[in-house]
């Protein structure tokens, strides 16, 4: 019982009031969300510019544009996670797992496209690319399994 009162006393004797810290944290998250949104807009303009200026467009420009678009989707998912932090008060595991899946798929598409282009690669670089594809595929499977397990746990607690 004595240890429990010590815990309560240590929580009550913080230097800054909890409400002030929460407001400061919300302001900081809001600023980060705005910065991320501005980065997404900048990346969109860069992607559109690259779309019209990359020569040759097929296949190099197309691969770069798809890679850039998936990067923008990742940024937008991070923004969505920050917004969810405001509404729910916590970071949601599922959203981070989804961001990880998108990032791994983005890398798989990039490596796969570079292998498909048929540009000459020495055997060591080719084997490294295949290893990257395999590792990223394993990451995607693990993250999707984690998303499934997380959603199953949420559905059990909801019932």
Q: What is the pLDDT of residue 4?
A: 47
3-state secondary structure the chain: CHHHHHHHHHHHCCCCCHHHHHHHHHHHHHHHHHHHHHHHHHHHHHHHHHHHHCCCHHHHHHHHHHHHHHHHHHHHHHHHHHHHHHHHCCCCHHHHHHHHHHHHHHHHHHHHHHHHCCCCCCHHHHHHHHHHHHHHHHHHHHHHHHHHHHHHHHHHHHC
Sorting pLDDT into bands at 50, 70 and 90, what band is 13? low
Report whether pLDDT(10) > 50: no
- Predicted confidence (pLDDT) per residue in 46-73, tens digit: 999 998 898 888 878 888 888 999 999 9
Name the average pLDDT for the chain: 86
Q: What is the pLDDT of residue 148?
A: 95
pTM confidence score: 0.78
Which tokens go with 46? 């860069």
- Predicted confidence (pLDDT) per residue in 98-119, tens digit: 999 999 999 999 888 888 876 6
Mean pLDDT of 38-49: 96
Q: Cα dihedral sign for 144, 147, 153, 156?
A: negative
User: Which of left, alpha, beta for 120 (phi over 0: left; psi -120 to 50: alpha)?
Assistant: beta
Q: Whole-angstrom Cα distance, residue 66 to residue 37?
A: 19
Mean pLDDT of 34-39: 96
Q: What is the pLDDT of residue 3?
A: 47
- Predicted confidence (pLDDT) per residue in 82-99, tens digit: 888 877 777 788 889 999
Mean pLDDT of 146-155: 92
Contacts for 43 with CB less than 8 Å, ≥ 6 apart: 68, 71, 72, 75
């Amino acid at each position: 019982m004595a240890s429990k009162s010590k815990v309560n006393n240590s929580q009550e004797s913080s230097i800054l009031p909890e409400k002030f810290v929460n407001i400061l944290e919300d302001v900081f998250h809001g600023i980060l969300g705005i910065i991320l949104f501005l980065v997404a807009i900048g990346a969109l303009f860069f992607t559109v510019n690259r779309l019209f200026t990359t020569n040759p467009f097929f296949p190099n420009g197309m691969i770069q544009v798809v890679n850039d678009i998936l990067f923008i989707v990742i940024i937008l998912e991070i923004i969505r996670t920050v917004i969810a932090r405001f509404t729910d008060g916590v970071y949601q595991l599922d959203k981070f797992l989804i961001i990880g899946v998108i990032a791994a798929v983005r890398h798989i598409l990039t490596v796969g496209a570079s292998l498909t282009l048929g540009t000459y690669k020495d055997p060591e670089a080719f084997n490294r690319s295949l290893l990257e594809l395999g590792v990223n595929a394993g990451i995607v499977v693990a993250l999707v399994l984690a998303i499934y397990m997380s959603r199953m746990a949420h559905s059990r607690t909801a019932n």
